[in-house]
Structure 1
Amino acid sequence: MKTRGELKAEVRELLAGNWGKAILLNIIPILGSLVVGIIIAFLVALIVFLINNGVFSGGETTINETVNSSASNSGRSFISGLIGTLITTGIAYTTLDWLRTKNNDFSPVRGMFSIFSRKYFVPVLVLYILQAIFTFFWSLLFVIPGLIKTYSYSQTYYIYKDVNEDNDNNSLNYLDYITLSRELMNGHKFEMFVLQLSFIGWWLLVLVSFGIAAIWVYPYYQTTMSAYYKNLAGDKFINYRG
């Protein structure tokens, strides 16, 4: 397994001279970051204006309003999370192939929406729902167990891709992919956490630049996550039959 520095060096070498293609591949999450950045900038300006003009005043919220708002937010969060997962998984699959073949002759748009196909859409949807259910129940035991399970399940989509790349005759069911991810991440969850934490400076740059830095940071981060799986799993799950 490569070190964090070696993984990032591998990614920077891949992206060198290919940033335009990488940015196009990640354009939807990048635009999402830019929109959020614009909203944050607007809210900051609005809050400063309201404070300066003494407009803030207290208000009352009923219990029913709070409950209804919470339920509505949960539903929106699930849907937005699903859409985001479908798109980012397509990006992850494309970057994984790119890392393995070093071949940049691919369509960024087609790669970004590759999950929306007969081969991947329903399986990724089912895996997303199963992981959401399991993570929810683990989270009932407080936040930390749910967070740990998020890392345990983090390689599920990659494993599904590898197993089914050229093999439709395996004996695995959907729960098996989650189990394989959990087994793969045994002893590596903290390692992945530290890898993600090493990007905190970059994400702070995205924040202070109101999303502009995401143009470079998001492709760098996403490709590094794919490189992590590639180096951790190797060819173990390619055409795996169970």
Structure 2
Amino acid sequence: MTISQVKQTAKESLRGNWGIAIGIFVLAWLIETVGGGIIGWIPVIGWIAIFLLTGPLYTGVAWVYLAISRREQPDVAYMFSGFKQFGRTVLAYLLISIFTFLWSLLLIVPGIIKTYSYSQTFFILRDNPNISALDAITESRHMMNGHKGRLFGLSLTFLLWYLIPLAVAIAGTVIIAGGMATTSYTADPAEVLSALAAGATFGGLVLILASWLITLGISLYVYPYLITSIAVFYDDLYAATEGTFTEETVIVEEEVTSFGTTEADPFVEDTHPEGFGPEATKEPETPETPEAPEAPKDNNEPK
């Protein structure tokens, strides 16, 4: 699919589901904000608790949008399904965070590239409950080989929306800075502060607040649309690259995992959506050893 086709498919999937799509986003944001505000002030323990909450929560949110993209009807409770697979989702979230951080130490760009490499991990976990977190990350890297630029282009079409609040916030910041600069270079700072600087500061703060509200309003539309589009991208990507991963892991021996061997293929799940996911690998049948033919009877054998 082209980027426009992916977005069109996502938009059609969201038709009639915008209520739950927006509601899931708002609820997840409130849980993270309120939960973080309550426990985030506790040193170390609070930070760990937030991490343990965020990983499964946003995994479940991604699964909701994946279900919407497949024309299913998920309910609100489905966003907490990541907690039912707590160990895998937290471990995947932790490993992705560590790997991305380590790549970012080189420069920002490698970190961004790896973010796109790992972007399909949580969808893979959803469709394959028997696969480990590390193997899901490995599979995501294989899926995204040669496709990171396309996903970046898809993401960019949504990120451009945020140029509007960014411009408003920059304008507010410039106005506040201008008022403060005027105050510092005047002979009578008290008079300017009461008139020009105070007005500029107030106006700048209003613009910054407006930029925040605009960002929130845009996110109500953009976030569900973006994640649903990435889910459509995932299904399309799997269909386009099916059957290439095993060959790749066999050639690159150092990247061979249990996922890359047909004998231990973890992609076995009876509840997959119809037509999605690799077929369950059948156990190879042990060839039967042919019985040795009986020796022909010797008719000359004495009776």
| TM-score, normalised relative to structure 1 | 0.68
CA distance in 1, matches of 2:279, 2:50: 32
Correspondence for 2:78 among 111, 128, 141: 111
**Contact 1:152-1:182 at 8 Å conserved across structures:** yes
Identify the residue that residue 233 of structure 1 maps to in structure 2. Answer: 238
Displacement, 1:192? 0.9
Counterparts in 2 of 1:219-230, with a 5 A limit? 219-230=224-235
Q: Does 1:192 align with 2:191?
A: no
> How high is the sequence identity, in percent, across the aligned residues?
39
CA distance in 1, matches of 2:125, 2:142: 14
Identify the residue that residue 88 of structure 1 maps to in structure 2. Answer: 58
For the pair shown, which has the larger CA radius of gyration, 1 or 2?
Answer: 2
Correspondence for 2:89 among 124, 138, 159: 124
Which residue type is aligned with residue 178 of structure 1? I
Which is further off, 78-87 or 207-216? Answer: 78-87
Displacement, 1:86? 2.5
**Contact 1:206-1:217 at 8 Å conserved across structures:** no
Counterparts in 2 of 1:60-75, with a 5 A limit? none
Gaps in structure 1 of 5+ consecutive residues = 36-71
CA distance in 1, matches of 2:58, 2:164: 21
**Contact 1:30-1:218 at 8 Å conserved across structures:** no
Correspondence for 1:139 among 100, 104, 116: 104
Per-residue CA deviations over 1:61-111 (Å, capped at 9, x if unaligned) read xxxxxxxxxxx79x95x76565444322212112212322x132x31x212
Q: Is the alpha carbon distance of 1:175 and 1:34 closer, same or farther for their aligned partners in structure 2, counting shifts above 3 Å? A: closer
Identify the residue that residue 23 of structure 2 maps to in structure 1. Answer: 24
Displacement, 1:195? 0.8
CA distance in 1, matches of 2:278, 2:60: 19
CA distance in 1, matches of 2:230, 2:118: 14
Secondary structure of the residue aligned to 2:82 is coil
Tell me the C-alpha RMSD between the 2 structures. Answer: 3.0
Query: Relative contact order: is structure 1 or structure 2 higher (C-alpha 8 Å, sep ≥ 6)?
Result: 1
Displacement, 1:187? 0.4
Per-residue CA deviations over 1:114-157 (Å, capped at 9, x if unaligned) read 1111xx21101011111222222222222222221111111111
Which is further off, 8-17 or 139-148? Answer: 139-148
Identify the residue that residue 57 of structure 1 maps to in structure 2. Answer: none
Aligned length: 192
Q: Is the alpha carbon distance of 1:80 and 1:126 closer, same or farther for their aligned partners in structure 2, counting shifts above 3 Å? A: same
**Contact 2:68-2:228 at 8 Å conserved across structures:** no
**Contact 1:11-1:224 at 8 Å conserved across structures:** yes
CA distance in 2, matches of 1:32, 1:210: 19
Q: Is the alpha carbon distance of 1:90 and 1:3 closer, same or farther for their aligned partners in structure 2, counting shifts above 3 Å? A: same
Which is further off, 134-143 or 150-159? Answer: 134-143
Displacement, 1:185? 0.5
Identify the residue that residue 159 of structure 1 maps to in structure 2. Answer: 124
Displacement, 1:7? 0.8
Counterparts in 2 of 1:29-40, with a 5 A limit? 29=28, 31=30
CA distance in 2, matches of 1:110, 1:86: 13
Displacement, 1:220? 1.1
Q: Is the alpha carbon distance of 1:7 and 1:79 closer, same or farther for their aligned partners in structure 2, counting shifts above 3 Å? A: farther
| TM-score, normalised relative to structure 2 | 0.55
Identify the residue that residue 2 of structure 2 maps to in structure 1. Answer: 3
Gaps in structure 2 of 5+ consecutive residues = 35-42, 167-210, 243-266, 268-276, 282-303
**Contact 2:88-2:132 at 8 Å conserved across structures:** no
CA distance in 2, matches of 1:184, 1:193: 14
Displacement, 1:210? 4.3
